Amino acid sequence: MEREGMGFVPEIVPADSRLLEKAQARLDDLTKPVGSLGRLEEFARRIVSITGQTMPALGRKVVFTFAGDHGVVAEGVSAYPSEVTPQMVFNFLNGGAGINVLARHAGAEVVVVDIGVDYEFPETPGLLIRKVVKGTRNMLKEPAMTRGEAEQCLKVGIDLAAEYAGKGYGLFGTGDMGIGNTTPSSAIAAVLTKRGVAEVTGRGTGISDGGLAKKIAVIEESIALRNPDPNDPLDVLAKVGGAEIGGIAGLILGAASKRVPVVIDGLISTAGALIAYALEPRAADYMFAAHNSVEIGHKAMLEKMGMVPILDLGLRLGEGTGAALAMLLIEGGLKIYREMATFSEAGVSGEVPG
């Protein structure tokens, strides 16, 4: 499916629903009571359906942490200054951030993508420079990006998905870094879920009550002034979004087109997922919601897409940390499916007909 003027959106086929039944039949024949491993079984049958393989192996895993700055920080919506964005990128590259620790634990690589940081990074291992903008513009004063810039951000993610799928990576995770990026994420949530801004806006990095009230007012006024069209996801991304959000949306679309499962992190990643979903609802077949963030807008966006989070740990860091943790459980479900003995293989008597 391609929207008019959206020819950059790759073709996505629905996940194979027939394979869901085939996978469930194998799961029901494993040496356990039927359904006793709960959502682990769900993860396994979804991986089978997504990949189109009856006995899939995920292979290499990677978390893409997209980084970008935001002009709206000038309105006092964040507890931290924009200089922290490049500082944290260097922390990622040095292996010292939360995502580095949890990705190592999950056996996943971290790829940092500079898609919109207002800083010129040197060539560094682990860093992909795919800069579209040097920070978005202040959405309270003008659109955050042009439509062309927003489309370019999507294309960065789509191309990365194709590149890494071609290299044999079988499970993607999404992450983000960008001071102020809960503000555009909440704006996207408000527009695309049609909920009030106060219902989908949280404290981000930990702003005060007064800071939260100001943040809500900035988002409300930005939406009123920019008037993003909820029926045109690219318009929403351009007017009140962010470069890293667009990159994440593109990565999800690209992953789905290559039949690669993608684990969605928290608020910012889910704003990207919602843009991808609005562009092509079939993309939801290929997404796993890693966790339920403390940020209140996150749940609203997950509900809009009909997604149930895997974890609920009170997380609100971003970076891809929740995605890395959820990868372990998704892999656990697949290992059960692949490695656990069936009743006949183990010589165990099955359930007595009753």
Q: Among residues 319, 331, 339, 345, which one is catalytic?
A: 319
Q: Sign of the CA dihedral 89, 90, 92, 98? A: negative
State both tokens at 212: 């939260």
What are the start-end ranges of the H helices in 10-146?
A: 17-28, 38-51, 84-93, 98-106
Q: Which of 43, 15, 40 is nearest to 255 (CA)?
A: 15
- HSE (CB half, 13 Å, CA atoms) of 140? 17
What 124-127 contacts at long range (C-beta under 8 Å, 24+ apart), as own/partner pairs, is 124/93, 125/93, 126/92, 126/93, 127/89, 127/93
* Measured distance CA(11)–CA(247) in Å, rounded: 18
**246 Cβ contact list (under 8 Å, min separation 6):** 115, 132, 145, 150, 153, 154, 156, 157, 237, 272, 275
State the distance between the two ends of the chain, measured CA to CA, in whole angstroms. Answer: 48
Quick one: 142 exposed, middle or buried, by C-beta within 10 A (0-12, 13-18, 19+)? middle
Which H or E run contains 129?
Answer: strand 127-129
Q: Is 319 a catalytic residue?
A: yes
Helices and strands (H and E) in the chain: how many: 13, 6
Amino acid (1-letter code) at residue 340: M
**209 Cβ contact list (under 8 Å, min separation 6):** none
Where in the sequence numbering do the catalytic residues fall? 319
